Amino acid sequence: MVGDDAEGFFLDAWQASISGRSPATVLAYGSDLRRFVAFAKARQRSSPSDITRLDLRAFLAAEANEGYARATLSRRAASLRQYFDWCRRRGLIATDPASRLTAPSGGGRLPTVIGASDLVDVLDELHATTLHDGLLDREVILRDLAVVELLYGCGLRVSELCQISIGDLDLEGGSVLVTGKGSKERRLPLHDLAIDAVRRYLVEGRDAFVKENTPADAVLLNRVGNRLGPRDVRRILDSRFDQPVHPHALRHSFATHLLDGGADLRIVQELLGHSSLETTQIYTHVSKERLAAVYRSSHPRA
């Protein structure tokens, strides 16, 4: 597991120091810090003394971009404050980079939603392009089409998309099994165009990305044969849309378009994998705002 004592961050000792708190708090704080240590090591930080306030802000910003709720980000910040205060008291750091650290602002902002017609245009163009014979980089287009169809068609988090394995797909039955937050699994329906896109990528495109060390069960691969990562997905979307698009925007759009079409809120909650209906309800505000905009632009008296 990432972040044990031998790896320089003394997380086992720190977690023991908060053992008097509730088991749920100890577990949550431990999970928060292990996520941070994984992030820090990716930035070539090997101990608490290497960490700057900029690292902490970058971590919280990355977590916000992954779509974590404001309450979760606030807890992450609290975990980091507790941990670095402990490091300071233990003499592991000279100054505390987490002093007065807070979660990123903007919790009240509504999610970005891409217009349904804009999404359909991008998807239709990709579908049509893959039908051209002798197309350069056809395998890349097949993969990118599968990425966009899965993100928007299922409302996936980018982490869920990247971890899809071949055994998770039931193309005959029209579904995909994904693992969300807290290792919770949910099986999601796939519409016919998404099934077609994934099947064609697996049959006609995936082998072009396979390298010697490629995981045998990985579905979506990058040019070096590894599973796609969040940055790979972001680059794919930026190359396919006319303006920069964050992967989570497709999840927001999925939920909003379902509600605009009359879907029940609890069904949308299940599809998104939200443990609380309150988290899903933000999309009702998005839908109301969109409906109000349509009203203002079209009603003669508005």
* CA–CA gap between residue 76 and residue 59 (Å, rounded): 10
Point out the catalytic residue in the list 75, 76, 143, 157. Answer: 157
pLDDT band at 3 (very low <50, low <70, confident <90, very high): very low
What is the predicted pLDDT for the residue at 294? 67
Q: Tens of pLDDT along 189-220?
A: 999 999 999 999 999 999 999 999 999 999 99
Q: Which of 143, 227, 257, 274 is catalytic?
A: 274
> How far apart are the C-alpha atoms of 125 and 300, rounded to whole Å?
35
In this predicted structure, the answer to whether residue 109 has a pLDDT above a threshold of 80 is no
The CA distance from 157 to 65, in Å, is 10
Cα–Cα distances in Å, from 120 out to 128, 152, 156? 12, 10, 17
Q: Which of 181, 186, 199, 290 is catalytic?
A: 181
From the list 76, 206, 251, 252, the catalytic residue is 251
Annotated active-site residue 248? The verdict is yes
Q: What is the mean pLDDT of residues 240-249?
A: 87
Q: Which one of 3.30.930.10, 1.10.443.10, 1.10.1200.30, 3.40.50.2300 gives the CATH number of domain 116-297? A: 1.10.443.10
Active site residue 41: no
Domain edges within the chain: 5-89, 116-297
- pTM check: above 0.75: no
**Residue 248, both tokens:** 């989570």
pLDDT at 295 over 80: no
pLDDT digit string, tens, across residues 39-51:
999 888 999 999 9
251 is catalytic: yes
- Identify whether 109 is a catalytic site residue: no
Can you tell me the distance from the alpha carbon of 175 to that of 189, in angstroms, rounded to the nearest whole number?
Answer: 4
Instruction: Give the model confidence (pLDDT) of 123-136 as tens digits.
Output: 999 998 888 766 66
Q: Among all chains, which residue has been given the structure tokens 């708190």? A: 21
| C-beta atoms surrounding 203 within 10 Å | 10
pLDDT at 4 over 50: no
Question: How many other CB atoms are there within 10 angstroms of residue 66's CB atom?
Answer: 17
**Fold classification of 5-89 (topology level):** DNA polymerase; domain 1 (1.10.150)
CA angle at 259 for the pair 257 and 265, rounded to the nearest 5°: 140
For the cut 60, the answer to whether the pLDDT of residue 259 exceeds it is: yes
Mean pLDDT, range 234-263, rounded to an integer? 90
| Residue 296 a catalytic site member | no
Is the CB of residue 101 less than 8 Å from the CB of residue 53?
A: yes
Average pLDDT over residues 294-300: 69
What is the band of 287 on the pLDDT scale with cuts at 50, 70, 90? Answer: confident
Which of 206, 248, 252, 257 does the annotation list as catalytic?
A: 248
Can you give the pLDDT at residue 208?
Answer: 95
**83, 152, 201, 283: which one is catalytic?**
283
- Between 107 and 15, residue with greater pLDDT: 15
Residue with tokens 């329906």: 189
Give one DSSP letter per residue of 80-146, joined into a string.
HHHHHHHHHHTTS-SS-TTTT--PPS-TTSPPP---HHHHHHHHHHHHHHTTSTT-TTHHHHHHHHH
How many other β-carbons are positioned within 10 Å of the β-carbon of residue 219?
24
191 is catalytic: no
**How far apart are the C-alpha atoms of 40 and 47, rounded to whole Å?**
9
